[in-house]
Amino acid sequence: MAQTKTLDPVAVPTGEGEARWWMGGLAEIKVTAAQTGGLVTILEITEGPGTGPLHVHHREDEGFWILEGNATFEVGGKQIEAGPGDFVFGPRDIPHKYTVGDAGCRMLFIFTPGGFEEVLRATSEPAATRTLPPPSQEPPDLEAMMDVIIASGCEVLE
């Protein structure tokens, strides 16, 4: 019988976790694949108003749990309005995107299996503060970002 490693408990208080500026928002890594035996990655994301691109994950499922604010999700062509306490599930291989409302939004991204934190790290920068990043003076290197995204089993569709 194969032995499995016993996992250590993980507790990440509010305002802690690796903070990254990612795609105009603040991403805080709450738990990683390494901490959960590959089972899950949880990111706390704070964003201002706006819409992300339609994309699809081929390796992981993605859940969204709204903590503050609101967002409109499109999952598989279906529109879903979500506010504080609401959860939206985006299964792998189903295109999805979201639009954050005028007041901004703070939510958890929950990926199963884990590992998406490596994509986040490769396409972001360490946050100088736990706030939204200042406006960028330079455009992002979209070609390099796309290489990372494609290698991770994701596709940007629009």
List the CATH number of the domain containing 78.
2.60.120.10
* Predicted pLDDT at 105: 98
**What pLDDT shows up at residue 17?**
96
Domain count of the fold of the chain? 1
Does a structural domain hold residue 10? no
Residue-wise pLDDT for 106-116, tens only, equals: 999 999 999 99
Q: Judge whether 79 and 72 are in contact, CB under 8 Å.
A: yes
Total-model pTM: 0.92
CB 64 within 8 A of CB 73: yes
Distance, CA of 91 to CA of 144 (rounded, Å): 26
Sign of dihedral through CA atoms 19, 20, 22, 24? positive
Is residue 134 domain-resident?
no
**Could you tell me the residue range of the domain that residue 111 belongs to?**
25-128+141-156
Q: Which residues pair with residue 100 across a beta bridge? A: 50, 71
